[in-house]
Amino acid sequence: MISHSQTVRVRYGETDKMGYVYYGNYALYYEIGRNELMRILDFPYSKIEEMGVLLAISQMNCKYFKPAHYDDNITIKSYIKSKPSAKIRFEHEIYNQNEELLNKGYTDLVFIDKVKRLPVRPPKALYNLFENYF
């Protein structure tokens, strides 16, 4: 398993009239988690794109337990729990500063050939990196 945690402060513009983080912003938090996890592996999206491969969301699942509020420090915990093939699943948990679970879910991304726009396997270097973990 590969994991990474990233702390983010909730900005005012991310909240709704009730003072809760607007539900659609959790997709952005998942993206932050995915990007930072790939960055610690030394494989940011830009590096993958330079190899001629894009990552496209094919599915997102999100379950809410408690709201986050303006100025909360939330921790986005992201995981890769299985070896990618033509797709990669990122699992996410979001906690507040009191370590209460607020939200959990996952995103599935498909590796896409940058030119042909068809699914492909991950770039060889990335695939080899995952071999070390799974």
What pLDDT shows up at residue 133? 87
What pLDDT shows up at residue 34? 97
> Which residue, chain included where needed, has tokens 């990335």?
126
Dist. CA 49–CA 38, nearest whole Å: 13
Domain 2-131 has CATH 2.30.110.10: no
What pLDDT shows up at residue 134? 87
10-54 pLDDT tens trace? 999 999 999 999 999 999 999 999 999 999 999 999 999 999 999
Dist. CA 89–CA 84, nearest whole Å: 7
64-121 pLDDT tens trace? 999 999 999 999 999 999 999 999 999 999 999 999 999 999 999 999 999 999 999 9
Answer for the pair 11, 32: CB distance below 8 angstroms, yes or no. no
Which residues, at least 6 apart from 4, have a Cβ–Cβ distance to it below 8 Å? 33, 36, 37, 40, 77, 78
What pLDDT shows up at residue 132? 86
List % helix, strand, coil for the chain (3-state, nearest 5): 25, 40, 35
Backbone angles phi, psi at 25, to 5 degrees: -75, -15
Dist. CA 37–CA 29, nearest whole Å: 12
